[in-house]
Structure 1
Amino acid sequence: MNYIEEELYSRFVELMPITCIDVLIHDDEGRILLVKRNQEPAKDKWWVIGGRLLKDETMLEGAVRKAKEEVGLDVKVEKIIGVYDEFFNTSIQGYPTHTVCIAFLAKADNLLLTDVDYTCYGFKLVSSIDDSYDPYLLRVVKDSGILERK
């Protein structure tokens, strides 16, 4: 996999949309895993696992990698939920951010976290998601159809 030097990536964020993978992870008990972000964009918000797609990486590979890297979970990707544009007023680089996010629904046998790279994490029952959450998160959860499974 190819990683981009920070200075060059900063120029990308300034000038173009960034392709990202988001993963809504659920278990057999109808719970979804949300993490609280420790960096911009969306700092201090409850969010799904996700991040930039790497060159020469398929979207599916990216989804599996992000789950493993960010929370140490092995997941089985079930489907693409949708493709979304997200616009943020800020980023770590200090520029407004435009991301094109491909959101996946994935299942983990258990949601016992072994490794996280966020300031905190938590489980939220799908039915507890309400309008206090970010509109993007609400849209992904709704579009996933996970609520209809309960």
Structure 2
Amino acid sequence: MRLELDTFKTVVESTPLVSIDLIVRNSDGRVLLGERTNRPAQGFWFVPGGRILKDEAFETAFKRLTSVELGVELSLSSASFLGPYEHHYSDNFSGDEFSTHYVVLGYEVVLDLEISELPSEQHGSYRWWGVDELLGSDLVHQNTKDYFG
């Protein structure tokens, strides 16, 4: 269920959001990151992912998010659960008048994807990163680095 804009702003301002992040490795062990076009974390390289909607089962959310973020619908059983994470941002999707707090469920999948075929709704561009490379880059958001550190 998607909320009306003003209602969603109130939710983001008042409560944590629950989301799934997708740590995607290719067969060479490199990690897929996208350069975010929207807030929060706008302009940083970040793993794909998104919110779980109200009344949406984990399996349904996982299938929807992999389809929307990766262009390939995957089942939850195809992923390894890495654990829960917490992400805090000083801004939100609509500006910087209040913060955003996520409780994130991290899942890792191994998948060889063609970057040119990835959806562009959330990320302006994509690339495959080595773990040491992403950990050493100021362009990669700390919340993404936390999956590897």
TM-score range, shorter chain: 0.7 to 0.9
Aligned equivalents of 2:2, 2:100: Cα separation in 1 = 19
| Residue in structure 1 matched with residue 124 of structure 2 by the alignment | 119
Q: Deviations over 1:47-89 (max 9, x none)?
A: 0111110123233432332121023134463211111111100
1:64–1:139 CA distance, 2 compared to 1 (3 A): same
Aligned equivalents of 1:71, 1:37: Cα separation in 2 = 14
Aligned equivalents of 1:61, 1:27: Cα separation in 2 = 24
Answer with 72-81 or 90-99: which moved more: 72-81
1:47–1:136 CA distance, 2 compared to 1 (3 A): same
Q: From 92, 105, 116, give the equivalent of 1:102.
A: 105
C-alpha displacement of 1:141: 2.5
C-alpha displacement of 1:32: 1.4
User: What's the TM-score, normalizing by structure 2?
Assistant: 0.84
Q: CA RMSD in A?
A: 1.7
Write the mapping of 1:14-93 to structure 2, written as runs, cut at 5 A.
Answer: 14-75=13-74, 77-93=78-94
Aligned equivalents of 1:35, 1:48: Cα separation in 2 = 6
Give the number of aligned pairs.
140
The residue type equivalent to 1:137 in the other structure is T
User: What's the TM-score, normalizing by structure 1?
Assistant: 0.83
**Given that residues 13 and 93 in structure 1 are in contact (C-alpha distance below 8 angstroms), is that contact kept between their aligned partners in structure 2?**
no
**Given that residues 22 and 63 in structure 1 are in contact (C-alpha distance below 8 angstroms), is that contact kept between their aligned partners in structure 2?**
no
Q: Does 1:140 align with 2:142?
A: no
C-alpha displacement of 1:128: 2.1
The residue type equivalent to 2:114 in the other structure is L
How many percent of aligned residue pairs carry the same amino acid?
A: 25
Unaligned runs of 5+ in 1: 143-150
**Given that residues 73 and 111 in structure 1 are in contact (C-alpha distance below 8 angstroms), is that contact kept between their aligned partners in structure 2?**
no
| Residue in structure 2 matched with residue 128 of structure 1 by the alignment | 133
C-alpha displacement of 1:26: 1.3
